[in-house]
Amino acid sequence: MKQHHIVAAVIASGIVGVGAISVPAASATERPAAAQHAAGIQAAHAMEKVISRGRLAVYKRPTTKSGIAGWLKSGQIISIRCWDEGGRVHGNRRWYRIAKPSGWVSAYYIRATRGRPAKHC
């Protein structure tokens, strides 16, 4: 009779243990799904790297004659929404529209890293 109680206790502890493990496993599968969704959003835009020697100005319009909307750090990875032509920067007329900070950066200081190529605005 004692053996039945011991076996039942071992089985019960195994079930409780499995139940405790299954709860974190369910939430663990939700986190990667959220990360995959975020990665999918990033993959929808071209991912580019700032290659300027110092910080890079983000302009309100695709020209250096417009106001500055913000700054990017050298080496920073950014998401490009689209491209258009604007004022020349070292002979390059292509500008990229970015979301954060909202504005335009000269393509002269940007290099492709991953994601789809940027489309024309």
pLDDT of the chain along its 121 residues, tens only? Answer: 455 444 444 444 444 444 433 334 444 444 444 444 444 444 567 899 999 999 999 999 999 999 999 999 999 999 999 999 999 999 999 999 999 999 999 999 999 887 778 899 9
The set of residues, in sequence order, having a beta carbon less than 8 Å from that of 49 and lying 6+ positions away, is 75, 76, 77, 78, 110, 111, 112, 113
The set of residues, in sequence order, having a beta carbon less than 8 Å from that of 84 and lying 6+ positions away, is 62, 94, 95, 97, 104, 120, 121
Q: How far apart are CA 6 and CA 8, in angstroms?
A: 5
